[in-house]
Structure 1
């Protein structure tokens, strides 16, 4: 199912739960329209946006986590596929963009923080770090958030980062994809591309 990846040596991936706005964000970055589902779980396989003249691809991976109307085993399989894809391509992935919903992410993380349970978002963030893939958390839908700094501080804490969140501008990027407000994300991604000596890819962000 995930064998459609173009043969490129440089990649940026978007990962995150269903319905956090990954596909909208992808459209904002690439200027290219993808199927964005009105319902969760529409993206079942990776969407690759490939510049054939460039050795570079941006990939929107299927959403994981709870999806209404989607059976547990299907959800688990999607998450396993996403994890395997990232592991298989880790050496080529220059940045992993973890997209979260700024309005609900804290509640979701807190609801799933039991002694035996690591919330998906925190787990994915740690997973990227484990694989030494630079992670940027795109905190989407920030136009709907009133207590912006408190919310972002709370998120930083749950990801194991210090507050205030502003110290981590290369890791936490508040955006509103629907409104086309994605500058903090572009800047964070460029920071990591620069570290990877890939300033040639700045034109995409």
Structure 2
């Protein structure tokens, strides 16, 4: 179970499969270097960034789903811990950012559905809505996608958002964290902060 959550009353959490680029996004958001690994499952505990004088932090939650070299029961435990963390802190979470690998997300979702499973990404998106956390979908690694509009439409379709994706621009954020291009995500976060009457936090996503 995740312990030692800093005592902050507002938070943005990043959730998603292993190796989708959450730690790289965190580095872009915070300006702080974090352990970024080419190997899935590097982040096993939440990474909290609570350096600000405001009662606010960004939290990078461990990746779930397949991780090479990690036992299945351990993977399930991580996912359970992530869900419990979000549930317990839902009132403090201003936005839950579901990070997807734009290149592979649709294939992974479809593969799980064919096996009769609810894909983790779809489950997490719905779960955030269920606990009252406004989800943002950060579609990362857009530099590897040929027809971006088509791919974003497909992702919206899989998440139950009616395409075209442009009408969800306050929810779906195409980014390329590796190249430092997270403008669309920051814009979505600005909307969430404003909706929560936390304009004092806008400087963190300007």
Q: TM-score range by the shorter chain?
A: over 0.9
RMSD: 1.0
Counterpart of 2:103? Answer: 103
Structure 1 residue runs of 4 or more that deviate by more than 3 Å after TM superposition: none
Counterpart of 2:202? Answer: 202
TM-score (norm 1): 0.98
Counterpart of 1:15? Answer: 15
Whole-Å Cα distance in 2 between the matches of residues 45 and 203 of structure 1?
Answer: 27
For 1:45, what is the secondary structure of its paired residue?
A: coil
Unaligned runs of 5+ in 1: none
Q: Check if 1:31 corresponds to 2:51.
A: no
TM-score (norm 2): 0.97
Counterpart of 1:44? Answer: 44
Whole-Å Cα distance in 1 between the matches of residues 188 and 52 of structure 2?
Answer: 25
The Cα shift of 1:116 comes to 4.0
The Cα shift of 1:141 comes to 0.2
Unaligned runs of 5+ in 2: none
Counterpart of 1:131? Answer: 131
Whole-Å Cα distance in 1 between the matches of residues 4 and 193 of structure 2?
Answer: 24
For 1:193, what is the secondary structure of its paired residue?
A: helix
Whole-Å Cα distance in 2 between the matches of residues 127 and 95 of structure 1?
Answer: 13
For 1:94, what is the secondary structure of its paired residue?
A: strand
Counterpart of 2:89? Answer: 89
For 1:23, what is the secondary structure of its paired residue?
A: helix
